[in-house]
Structure 1
Amino acid sequence: MHCRKVDLKKGYVWECTDELAKDPVTGKRKRVSARGRTKPEAKANLERKIKKVTEYGLTTDPEQSSISFEKLAQEWLQVHKKNMKESAQRSREYHVKRFGKYIAKIEVKKITKKMYQNVIDQMQKDGYSFNTIYAAHSTAKRIFKQAIAWDIIHSSPADMVVLPKEKLTIDQIEVDQVGEKYLERDELKTFLDITRTQGLLNDEVIFVLLAFTGMRIGELLALKWNDINFENNEISVTKTIFNIDGKKHEYKLLTPKTKTSIRTISFDENIAQLLDRHEKQQKEQMMKVRNIWHDEGFIITREDGYPMSPRFVHYRMKRLEQKLHEKTNVKKKLHPHILRHTHTSMLTEAGVDLRAIMQRLGHSDAKTTLSVYTHVTEKMKIDASDKLGKVFGDLINR
């Protein structure tokens, strides 16, 4: 250890310097220094610094040791980019931006648990939803875990954080009921009637297929005609579409959500006839604009052959929701995924067992499927009891 006086404008300080053991990768030694008002203080500061490096393996690279949250987050995103789908990458970039809004320029090693908690509390004050705060925290937690792995810090400020609890209003509680997650038989009929009479081009085929196949919206929009086997009446689900900005030229076809999402879905003659009619209509449209037609074989397309974006279908369904609320007694909030849950309820009423339903939907997690399945089966038990009483109730000795 070597110590010396260092002259400053306002006097002087003591600086002590020492060398660490050779780096096992580079074979080079790194010099570590620390300052203090006195020589003993400088020596003590240096010893603490060396202890941190030897005990926790903390980096002595000046650039890494002073890295900001913003720079660390970008490096983390870059490293994990190759293992993430583009949709997941976009989502994480979004949450990095939300969280980094508060501490982007602060050095990672200076971010304390209290500072981290302040960020979470401030996000709540700024009106971010529980889901957004939770997702931002989850992303930040991974980033700090990476900082530990890279020997920048030895403990994470994300540990022991207190997240806000989701407070539901009475309206939200009512909407969150299982029965609100799917359409009953008469509600589905009413919705499809509105779709046929008030819908725009392709609305009927989109929403009928969602309801009667249980596909996710991205899976449906990625379908091509060569995915349909009309001899066996089967649909092969092997991909999903990604188009976050809704720009028609910027779509991408990705692998499905999970391995279980790759599946084959059977359909009946009614769906076969619907697809046949749709194919003929599409060919007529293709002839009208053949000079600009995007000939990639998509089933659900815009007027020029490009596939629709999921956002576009959401807008279409909200339009139909408004008409449904105006003209009928059905007041449920509609979104494309409600038809996937509706498909679960339809299969349950048809007597299909839970495992077969999960396979058809491509579900690896039974949570949502099970909630709808259980709700419908319980309702069927009550209906069965009522029917039994009405038909054979007079046989009971009163």
Structure 2
Amino acid sequence: MWIENLPNGKYKYIERYNDPYTDKSKKASITLNKNTPQAKKQALALLQEKIDKLTNQDEITSKITLVELYDEWFSRYQKTVKQRSAIATRKVIKKVFKNIPPDMLVRKADRQLFLKFLDEIYTFGNLSYSYTTQIKNTLGNMFSYAVERKYLSKNPITPIKIKRKKDEEENYKQKMDEKYLEKEEIYQIISYLQERNQTRLHARIIEFLWLTGLRYGELQALQWKDYDGKSIDVNGTLGVYNKAENKTKKISPKTIASNRIVDLPQRAIDILEETRVLNKISFNKISSTDYLFLSNRGMPLSISAFNRVLKNIEKDCHIDKTLSSHIFRHSHVSLLAELNLPLKSIMERVGHSNANTTLKIYNHVTKKTRDEVMEALNNIK
């Protein structure tokens, strides 16, 4: 530390330190009114505190290990998410512990360690970009908790950026096209299913999903009391499906934003009114607490049974896309994007507060629409 006299009669106390990001020497300073032994002692303490903040060098002495951090964090995390999200997180952490020692001290964790890990599993490995991003985000959440608890001074995951591999980037457009169905494909599937008595329920479900953007679990959980003739109140998802006891359990929806009122176009209203009549014929009576779309067993059609039919459709209708219940939700986003509706209104309709896939489909479809406009203008003669 050295001292400089200032023109105003005060004293600047200066000390050098190394920038942790550039390793270059820099100076930190403070100004005091006096140049006495007591002032020098005060200056040393203040300069050290300032340098610690500039270099993020808080004193961390915790001996908590990575697996101990995970256990502590996960015990809280699992109470804030759905069971399926908790299960997925457990699988992610198993992957991490296969590559990084679980007994590693958390305070020793640094960016290079995890950058190398992510490179090994993605850049030079065979995991997908989306799954690698999921792993990174899970680690980021866990280490944010560690910073809050002062187990380490900064999150080593935050600065890491995963760059999509070139071959994945080149296939991006094609993959986005495969995430949703065009209108012609939707109508082809519906027409095919309507030709068979045993799959007409599937046809009504598909068209309703496409017109509303519901998740399949949200559709399963709909009860007649949630329908007022013009809209549906989406307020749950089907959490338990027990064939043996013929029981279902309605639980809270995926997120807070999932609670929403969805206005219905006329065709969706027609589908529900047709379903009401068919249910009454099949089961003699309808109560307000009955579910809407019922199989011949009187229970909501399970997602596994629904997806099995979709797998057969891929082959029978020669559709070169992976069909699942969720593709109709994506197709609804695509439909609304083609109608040039604002992204915010689409996200509110499908119940998304942070919707990466919705945003990707929206941008992809609207770009395609802009390209079609330019093509039409360029072809004017």
Tell me the TM-score range normalised by the shorter chain.
0.5 to 0.7
State the Cα deviation string for residues 72-110 of structure 1 (Å, max 9, x = none): 211101123333333433332232222123335323247
TM-score, normalised to structure 2, is 0.67
Assess if the C-alpha contact under 8 Å between 1:68 and 1:104 holds in 2. Answer: no
Assess if the C-alpha contact under 8 Å between 1:324 and 1:331 holds in 2. Answer: no
The answer on 1:331 being equivalent to 2:320 is: yes
The answer on 1:56 being equivalent to 2:59 is: yes
CA distance in 2, matches of 1:276, 1:384: 41
Aligned to 1:176: 175
- SS for the counterpart of 1:103 is coil
User: How much is the aligned-residue C-alpha RMSD, in angstroms?
Assistant: 4.0
The answer on 1:120 being equivalent to 2:113 is: no
Q: Kindly state the Cα deviation for residue 175 of structure 1 after the two structures are TM-superposed.
A: 2.1
State the Cα deviation string for residues 10-54 of structure 1 (Å, max 9, x = none): xxxxxxxxxxxxxxxxxxxxxxxxxxxxxxxxxxxxxxxxx9xx9
- SS for the counterpart of 2:251 is strand
Q: 1:70-85 residue pairs with structure 2 within 5 A? A: 70-85=67-82
Q: Kindly state the Cα deviation for residue 286 of structure 1 after the two structures are TM-superposed.
A: 3.9
User: Residues 353, 244 of structure 1: CA spacing in aligned structure 2 closer, same or farther, 3 A cutoff?
Assistant: same
Give the stretch that moved more between structures: 85-94 or 344-353: 344-353
Aligned to 2:234: 237
Aligned to 2:4: none
Aligned to 2:363: 371
Aligned to 1:266: 264
Aligned to 1:47: none
CA distance in 1, matches of 2:344, 2:65: 49
Q: 1:141-160 residue pairs with structure 2 within 5 A? A: 141-158=140-157, 160=159
User: Residues 129, 246 of structure 1: CA spacing in aligned structure 2 closer, same or farther, 3 A cutoff?
Assistant: farther
The answer on 1:313 being equivalent to 2:301 is: no
Assess if the C-alpha contact under 8 Å between 1:341 and 1:372 holds in 2. Answer: no
User: Residues 359, 84 of structure 1: CA spacing in aligned structure 2 closer, same or farther, 3 A cutoff?
Assistant: closer
The answer on 1:219 being equivalent to 2:218 is: yes
Aligned to 1:192: 190
- SS for the counterpart of 1:264 is strand
- SS for the counterpart of 2:323 is coil
Aligned to 2:253: 255
Assess if the C-alpha contact under 8 Å between 2:343 and 2:359 holds in 1. Answer: no
User: Residues 251, 386 of structure 1: CA spacing in aligned structure 2 closer, same or farther, 3 A cutoff?
Assistant: farther
User: Residues 131, 245 of structure 1: CA spacing in aligned structure 2 closer, same or farther, 3 A cutoff?
Assistant: farther
CA distance in 2, matches of 1:259, 1:162: 28
Count of equivalent residues: 318
Q: Kindly state the Cα deviation for residue 348 of structure 1 after the two structures are TM-superposed.
A: 5.6
The answer on 1:130 being equivalent to 2:121 is: no
State the Cα deviation string for residues 267-303 of structure 1 (Å, max 9, x = none): 31x433432332343345446xx9xxxx952223444
CA distance in 1, matches of 2:137, 2:162: 11
CA distance in 2, matches of 1:189, 1:378: 25
The answer on 1:343 being equivalent to 2:335 is: no
CA distance in 2, matches of 1:224, 1:257: 19
- Give unpaired runs (5+ residues) of structure 2: 1-51
User: Residues 151, 371 of structure 1: CA spacing in aligned structure 2 closer, same or farther, 3 A cutoff?
Assistant: closer
User: Residues 273, 82 of structure 1: CA spacing in aligned structure 2 closer, same or farther, 3 A cutoff?
Assistant: same
Assess if the C-alpha contact under 8 Å between 1:240 and 1:255 holds in 2. Answer: yes
Assess if the C-alpha contact under 8 Å between 1:219 and 1:240 holds in 2. Answer: yes
Assess if the C-alpha contact under 8 Å between 1:235 and 1:266 holds in 2. Answer: yes
Assess if the C-alpha contact under 8 Å between 1:182 and 1:345 holds in 2. Answer: yes
State the Cα deviation string for residues 293-315 of structure 1 (Å, max 9, x = none): xx952223444344344444333
User: Residues 145, 371 of structure 1: CA spacing in aligned structure 2 closer, same or farther, 3 A cutoff?
Assistant: closer
- Give unpaired runs (5+ residues) of structure 1: 1-50, 60-64, 394-398
Q: Kindly state the Cα deviation for residue 203 of structure 1 after the two structures are TM-superposed.
A: 0.7
- SS for the counterpart of 1:82 is coil
